[in-house]
Amino acid sequence: MTRPLRVFYNSLGTPEMYKLIRSRMGAGLSLVTLETDEDSERRAKIADCDVAIVAAKPLTAEVIAAAQRLKLVHHQGVGYHDTVATEALTERGIRLALTPEGTTIGVAEHTLLLALGAARRAAFADAELRQGRWHVNALRPVSVELFNKTVGLIGFGRIGQEAAKRFNAFGCNCIFFDPAISEPAGLPATMASFEEVVETSDILSLHLPLSPRTKHLIGKAEIARMKQDAILVNTARGGIVDDVALAEALAAGKLLAAGLDVFEGEPIGADHKFCGLPNVFLTPHISAGTRDAMGHKMTALFANLARFQKGEPLNNEVALVSA
């Protein structure tokens, strides 16, 4: 009898989550899960696993070193740049695959939620109403519509393009900057330079990975060049935006509002500067975290593991190259 493929789940989940994951698993697989968030348990359990599934919790070089049988790392989303120690995979020829299925639509929809929530100060209005304060008129001078606004998207891959389609449905004019796109024909936005996107957008939305090159891409200088009364939306990654500079600009009224799902140093606490600002709409890194998304992700991920078991080419494999 052949040994089942042992699949390690690198993030600490809930029993309900593990149940959902197991419900999508194919034959010949055995899921190994954590009971604590301790790296000692992680290293012990991954030691005899063939595959690791990565979500928000980073798979570090130390954990990979303990995984002597590891052949494949499967990210359950797409943001591997800051969650997988890829050099450690490259050294040992361990493969890496992603799961855009289930991720793209959830994040694109969440982008619209954050843009609308920020434009209408929805979180502030809700919190105030629950305290008995009925701001029927107070929000009029600071509340805006999406219609006819210029939306600038930085990063125009899977999520950026789906977000643009949804902004278009609201009557926005979408422009994008993405150095990887040279042929913009047929895309749901017009190509522009980085400067033009930063300087002319009413809503600036980020859809690119965090890397050493994109850290603080939107910093104090870029925020200063943004339109007075612009809205910044970040569903991509904390660290792409300089949060200190952003909080200062929002407090000073330089920007109208921000809608943020991701932050530098997650999780942020109630004492974070953003939490005291009425013009910020905040969510705790949940853009891709819907029940629908989890089901789609796991179905696609286990279909890929079935290909792996049969020695077939994988979908969404990342071509890793040595640094």
Binding site for ligand NAD (CB under 6 A): 77-79, 100, 103-104, 107, 154-160, 177-180, 207-209, 214, 235-237, 261-262, 285, 287-288
DSSP 180-234: T----TT-SSEE--HHHHHHH-SEEEE-S---TTTTTSB-HHHHHHSPTT-EEEE
Least distance to ligand NAD from the beta carbon of 81, Å? 6
Instruction: Report CA Rg, the chain.
Output: 21
CB of 161 to ligand NAD, least distance (A): 8
Select 6 or 207, whichever has its Cβ closest to ligand NAD. Answer: 207
83 token code pair? 């969650």
Helix (H, G, I), strand (E, B) or coil at 34: coil
**Farthest CA pair distance, the chain:** 72
Strand partners, 231: 203, 257
Q: Of 179 and 311, which CB lies nearer to ligand NAD in the complex structure?
A: 179
> Buried b / exposed e across 176-199, counting CB within 10 Å, b at 16+?
bbbeebeeeeebbbebbeeeebbb
Pick 52 or 108: Cβ nearer ligand NAD: 108
Q: Which tokens sit at 77? A: 């989303």
Question: Between 180 and 319, whose beta carbon lies closer to ligand NAD?
Answer: 180
Shortest distance in whole angstroms from residue 44 CB to ligand NAD: 29
Letter for the amino acid at 233?
Answer: V
Pure H helices in 76-206: 86-92, 104-119, 122-130, 158-169, 194-200
**Those residues with Cβ within 8 angstroms of residue 27's Cβ, 6 or more apart along the chain or in another chain:** none
Q: Considering the complex, what minimum distance in angstroms separates the CB of residue 201 from ligand NAD?
A: 14
Give the β-pairing of 29-32 and 72-75. Answer: unpaired
Which residue lies nearer to ligand NAD by CB, 76 or 150? 76
- The side-by-side arrangement of strands in the sheet containing 231-234 is 190-191, 173-177, 150-154, 203-206, 231-234, 257-260, 280-282
Q: Cβ of residue 79: shortest distance to ligand NAD, in angstroms?
A: 3
Q: Which is nearer to ligand NAD, 109 or 202 (CB)?
A: 109
**With the CA atoms of 128, 130, 136 and 139 taken in that order, what torsion angle do they form, in degrees rounded to the nearest 10?**
30
Q: How far is the CB of 245 from ligand NAD (least distance, A)?
A: 18
Catalytic residue positions? 237, 266, 285
